[in-house]
Amino acid sequence: MTPPWPALSLVLAFDDEATEAEALARQLACPLALVVRHRFPDGELKLTLPTPLQGTVLLYRGLHQPNEKLVELMITAPAARALGAERLLLVCPYLAYMRQDIAFHPGEAVSQRHIAGLLASRFDGLVTVDPHLHRIASLDEVMPGCRALSLSAAGLLGRWVAQQVPQPLLLGPDGEAEQWVREAAQASGSAGAWCLKERHGDREVAVKLPPAVDFRGRAVVLIDDVASTGRTLVAAAQLALAAGAASVDVAVTHGLFVGDALVTLQAAGIRHIWSSDCVPHPSNAIPVAPLLTEGVRRVMAGT
């Protein structure tokens, strides 16, 4: 255990995530203030923070559509320290650039390592949900000197699904989803399985159903950490329906739903699409503020 931080004095957020930040601030019994943005004609940003600041300041910023938001963080963090913040805690429900965790070809930048290191240099702590970590055990490996905590929303997904669908079969669209399916199944007392996937490109995937599972008449719910183009979920849904599933729904932590992903999922015969509010989207059904609150308290206490 490391020493606890000064008391949390303020939750800072941006206007496009005010609803989610307000829910967290309410759970933490802490005031909320917004960073005011002004965009100049050339695209540069001017950010205005409340002043003065003190104690521990929490900055709420998800990194879906990340590039401009990373610039916001790089300006906001040193500005908050200059205004009096003693500690800075970033609550980042969706942590971008985590999937590129190895150089597959010569010269490729390993963005996970570089973006994580950049954030660690600006913030004293980080709380995130279901980052895409497959070749490292924890964020500590790429965020030295930062109290980084990775939480999982899989249990929340599992309990939500169990309330909506009687006796669901939780199905991961690929082997990488196994960890989330296992946790969701354990939290809800549901059955779980996962498909096998071969990726042939950004939008081309081949999926095979688990051979020992009888899908006939089953209410299948696809569970995953992130839905981006949705192609893997579509492939798994079509196979499950062809194998006799009575229905297919989707529950994901991060609903990115790039381009026509949502329309494509619905056209594939998927009945309901649920996501957590880690990424603001009309499909949001599962609030993560209680989970984030627990994480914030753990990081601040040094546990």
- Supply the pLDDT for residue 1: 66
Q: Is the pLDDT of residue 197 over 80?
A: no
- Tell me what percent of the residues of the chain surpass a pLDDT of 70: 97
Q: Which residues are known to be catalytic?
A: 197
Q: Which domains does the chain have, with CATH numbers?
A: 8-152+288-301 (3.40.50.2020), 154-286 (3.40.50.2020)
Q: What is the SS3 assignment for 149-184?
A: EEECCHHHHHHHHHHHCCCCEEEECCHHHHHHHHHH
pTM of the model: 0.93
- Supply the pLDDT for residue 203: 56
Q: Is the pLDDT of residue 70 over 80?
A: yes
Cα torsion angle, 209, 169, 231, 266, sign: positive
Mean pLDDT score, 108-124: 94
Q: Is the peptide bond before 280 cis (omega within 30 degrees of 0)?
A: no
| Alpha carbon distance, N-terminus to C-terminus of the chain | 5
- Tell me what percent of the residues of the chain surpass a pLDDT of 90: 86
Hey, which residues does 170 pair with through a beta bridge? 192, 221
In this structure, the number of other CB atoms found within 10 A of the CB of residue 90 comes to: 25
- Supply the pLDDT for residue 133: 80
- For 86, the token pair is 């003693």
- Supply the pLDDT for residue 201: 62
Beta strands 87-92 and 191-194 are unpaired
pLDDT in tens, 285-295: 999 999 999 99
Lowest mean pLDDT among 152-156, 203-207, 213-217: 203-207
